[in-house]
Structure 1
Amino acid sequence: MPKLTRRQLIILTLGGFLSYLLFGMFDSMRGATLSVLLTDLDLSYTAGGSVVMGQYAGYFAATLLVGILADRTGPKFTLVLAACSLIFGVAGYAASSGLLALIAFIFFIGIGLGSLELGGCNIIAAIYKEKKGRYLNILAAIAGCGAFVTPMIAGLFLDQGVSWRLIYRSGLLIAVPAAVYFVLLRWPASFRHAGNAKETSAPSPGSFREGATSARHPRRARSLAVLSMNLSNFAYMAAEIGTATWLVDFYCHVKHFSILEASTGLSLFYIGITLGRLCGSLFVDRAGHVRSILAASLLAAICILGGIAGPESLALLTSASGFCYSIIFPTSTAVISEISTGHTGRTLGIFLAFGGLGGMFGPWIVGIINDLAGLETGLAFNCLFCGAVFLLAATAGRLQMGTGDF
């Protein structure tokens, strides 16, 4: 592995952290403002789901196409593309009033978000080879910081009558300086093709089971395990985004919260994600990655059902699902990076692309169910996605281990 100076390590780490901070900010901004946007423009839940689908169509395109090129171009290209797409998309989205225009511009926001996530993930995966589960959970916690602060600030402004358009435009005050930082970022040439090399080292002990190395298992089992984790990420993103997108509407129209209280509930959801990832960074490598994913997906479903079916005093249990969701994505990222060999950028790009598809279809499906059967039924549908995460992660564990004991 090429060596970095301390200065290079700090600059690159800050670049990765900044990319995920932006990702958390603008991804949660959609959920915080969507309810007001739909009311302002007189759009249905299905139309709102189509807007969210537009964002994750862009996310999918970025993670798939940019991911394939990532090993050749390096993270700097990915981050510069991300910043330019994000700025263009936000400026256009904030000026739009028609459904088609909203979908078109949020598509570019999605390209920016997908590229930000891919670029930041590739940086951290390349420069921190040891304990990937820990560092990827910390990176994801940075996204959570942006994600829980944004809905609180947005809720305060919306409660005072400030337009959702101004909230989006204010985000450019951070996005533009970040774009300048990414342009000035220098990615060491010695790292550019690091993802193409075949990695022969064994995974960390916590990945599946102590002492189990991926070299002991057939290529077919490895490929099926990778596919299972990709599908698991699809289901996870469908569940998390399906929950976050409609949480404010659920609190406002079912639990009769004010817009400020509902936005605070969304902030609590992202606070749970942030705290969960910080806590997860301390135990996922020891507890085992697959075990951690199984427990988290099960607990998330329990929290969602408890918040929906329980009395109003327990409504915030739905927000607590964020704490349970928290470790699934970064821990799954650690799993996929350990069971695959070579072409790290491409592998992560495909993994994130599956997540993008989940982000596209999850909220859209929930939006349709909201219109047909009510917000409670729509939100509860996310529990089925959690069940899929559980089954697919368990399948990947069995394939990689060659045994049911993990």
Structure 2
Amino acid sequence: MISLTRRHLIALTLGGYFSYLLFGIFDSMRGATLSTLLADLPLSYALGGLIVMGQYAGYFTATLLAGVLADRTSPRSTLILAGVSLTAGVLGYTASTALPLLIFFMFFIGMGLGSLELGGCNIISAIYPEKKGRHLNILAAIAGCGAFLTPAAAGLLLDAGLSWRLVYRLGLVFAAPCALYFIFLHCPRLSQKAQKIMQKKQRASQSLALFSMNLSNFAYMAAEIGTATWLADFYCHVKHFSLLEASAGLSLFYIGITLGRLGGSLFVDRIGHIPSILAASLLAVGCTLAGVYGPDALAILVSVSGLCYSVIFPTSSAVVSGLAPGHPGRALGVFLSFGGLGGMFGPWLLGILNDLAGPKTGMACSCLFGASILLFTFAAGKLSAKR
């Protein structure tokens, strides 16, 4: 365990919290302003999708590159990269009108988001090795608070007549002070000697366990983002909810994720990381199937699946950081990259199933991703036990 003074511990913890708060704010800012941007320029939905893909491409790139950077220097360098990328991306994005420039600067915003998520996770995993499951769940809940509050605030400002460009720039009111905080933050790192000793202890079973957790994160992101993407449509066309009721169901899904992570911080370290993930994925599958195939009174259980899914990602991050003590930044970077791919392909695959078999079957098939989480996590637990 890294030796820290209480003051230094608090400073590093705040650095991790600030990184995830910024992540929640700017990740949700895109969705809150995109429709206004498309109407303002104007651009089609298909072209708007290309802008969103620019952010995913930046996120994917950052999680790979920043992981190596964090291992060779410290998580502080990752957070500084995040602050610079995010600030440059927002300023360029809000000053652009041409589609190539919008995609280009959205790529930098994506790099900032990927670096923020990786940097915060690395810091918390390093300074709370014995209670990382608890603190990573709290960290994810903070991101959820930012993601929940930002669309509401952005909607009020847009309704008041403010430009989407100004709304986006207002986010820099939070980003600029955090970037300065990251610059002056001192982050410890493992010595090269300690890293080499840990890497020698790495076995084939651990490598396979890491790969299994990466596949689990792909399945998790595909399940969570796929469910969130098509949930309102499912409620409207299958359960015949009104648009307002469907929107409330989607909000409940996100609220469940945030509250579940806060609650999960109290028990995941006590009952174990792997058992927590297995139980959560099993409950998520059960809730989804009951909500899809049960009577209309049980339809809300699909939204409740967000509460079940909530602990999986942060607790899986704790598992991955424990499996790769010699190079946690690189391992977490690859882990997040697999999640980014799952977030890209999950909604797309479920959308194809919606077209082919209807939204009821499409939503039910999200359980295949949930079952994959169960399978890959169970395999990782067995493989890691061979260490």
TM-score by length of 1: 0.81
One-letter amino acid matched to 1:140: A
Report the counterpart of residue 144 of structure 1 in structure 2. 144
One-letter amino acid matched to 1:273: I
Taking the aligned partners of 2:52 and 2:359, their CA distance within structure 1 comes to 17
Asked if 2 retains the 8 angstrom alpha-carbon contact of 1:31 and 1:244, the reply is no
Q: Alpha carbons of 1:294 and 1:101: their partners in 2 closer, same or farther (altered >3 Å)?
A: farther
For the pair 1:240 / 2:228, whether they are aligned, the reply is no
Could you tell me how far 1:16 is from its partner in structure 2? 0.6
Between 358-367 and 22-31, the greater mean CA deviation after superposition: 358-367
For the pair 1:393 / 2:377, whether they are aligned, the reply is yes
One-letter amino acid matched to 1:58: G
Between 225-234 and 341-350, the greater mean CA deviation after superposition: 341-350
Asked if 1 retains the 8 angstrom alpha-carbon contact of 2:133 and 2:314, the reply is yes
For the pair 1:116 / 2:127, whether they are aligned, the reply is no
Taking the aligned partners of 2:31 and 2:283, their CA distance within structure 1 comes to 22
Asked if 1 retains the 8 angstrom alpha-carbon contact of 2:69 and 2:77, the reply is no
Could you tell me how far 1:157 is from its partner in structure 2? 4.6
Taking the aligned partners of 2:112 and 2:11, their CA distance within structure 1 comes to 21
Q: What's the CA shift string for 1:8-66, capped at 9, x where partnerless? A: 1111110110001111222233344556666775634x655544433222111111111
Could you tell me how far 1:360 is from its partner in structure 2? 2.8
Report the counterpart of residue 195 of structure 2 in structure 1. 196
Q: What's the CA shift string for 1:220-278, capped at 9, x where partnerless? A: 222211110011111112222333345566667874424xx766554433321221112
Taking the aligned partners of 2:229 and 2:166, their CA distance within structure 1 comes to 20
One-letter amino acid matched to 1:196: Q
Between 240-249 and 117-126, the greater mean CA deviation after superposition: 240-249
Where 1:187 maps in the other structure, the secondary structure is coil
Structure 2 counterpart of 1:382, from 355, 366, 381: 366
Q: What's the CA shift string for 1:320-374, capped at 9, x where partnerless? A: 2221111101111111122334112222222222222222323344455566666
Could you tell me how far 1:99 is from its partner in structure 2? 5.4
One-letter amino acid matched to 2:4: L
Where 2:19 maps in the other structure, the secondary structure is helix
Report the counterpart of residue 205 of structure 1 in structure 2. none
Report the counterpart of residue 276 of structure 1 in structure 2. 260
Between 243-252 and 317-326, the greater mean CA deviation after superposition: 243-252
Q: Alpha carbons of 1:37 and 1:389: their partners in 2 closer, same or farther (altered >3 Å)?
A: farther
Q: Alpha carbons of 1:193 and 1:111: their partners in 2 closer, same or farther (altered >3 Å)?
A: farther
Could you tell me how far 1:193 is from its partner in structure 2? 5.3
Could you tell me how far 1:93 is from its partner in structure 2? 3.7
Taking the aligned partners of 1:251 and 1:157, their CA distance within structure 2 comes to 29
Report the counterpart of residue 208 of structure 1 in structure 2. none
Could you tell me how far 1:318 is from its partner in structure 2? 3.6
Report the counterpart of residue 43 of structure 1 in structure 2. 44
Taking the aligned partners of 2:296 and 2:107, their CA distance within structure 1 comes to 36
Q: Could you list the runs of 5+ residues in structure 2 that have no partner in the other structure?
A: none
Alignment of 1:159-170 (within 5 A): 164-170=164-170
Where 1:282 maps in the other structure, the secondary structure is coil
Structure 1 counterpart of 2:211, from 220, 223, 227: 227
Alignment of 1:65-214 (within 5 A): 65-95=65-95, 100-157=100-157, 164-188=164-188, 191=190, 196=195, 198-199=197-198
- Could you tell me the percent identity over the aligned residues? 66
Taking the aligned partners of 1:38 and 1:49, their CA distance within structure 2 comes to 10
Between 25-34 and 93-102, the greater mean CA deviation after superposition: 93-102
Asked if 2 retains the 8 angstrom alpha-carbon contact of 1:147 and 1:267, the reply is no
Asked if 2 retains the 8 angstrom alpha-carbon contact of 1:79 and 1:116, the reply is yes
Report the counterpart of residue 209 of structure 1 in structure 2. none
One-letter amino acid matched to 1:221: S
Q: Alpha carbons of 1:331 and 1:18: their partners in 2 closer, same or farther (altered >3 Å)?
A: same
CA RMSD of aligned residues (A): 3.3
Asked if 1 retains the 8 angstrom alpha-carbon contact of 2:2 and 2:126, the reply is no
Q: Alpha carbons of 1:192 and 1:19: their partners in 2 closer, same or farther (altered >3 Å)?
A: farther
Q: What's the CA shift string for 1:270-303, capped at 9, x where partnerless? A: 3212211121112112222222212222322344
Could you tell me how far 1:72 is from its partner in structure 2? 1.4
Alignment of 1:15-26 (within 5 A): 15-26=15-26
Taking the aligned partners of 1:66 and 1:77, their CA distance within structure 2 comes to 8
Asked if 2 retains the 8 angstrom alpha-carbon contact of 1:85 and 1:109, the reply is yes
TM-score by length of 2: 0.84
Taking the aligned partners of 2:167 and 2:289, their CA distance within structure 1 comes to 32
Taking the aligned partners of 2:236 and 2:32, their CA distance within structure 1 comes to 12
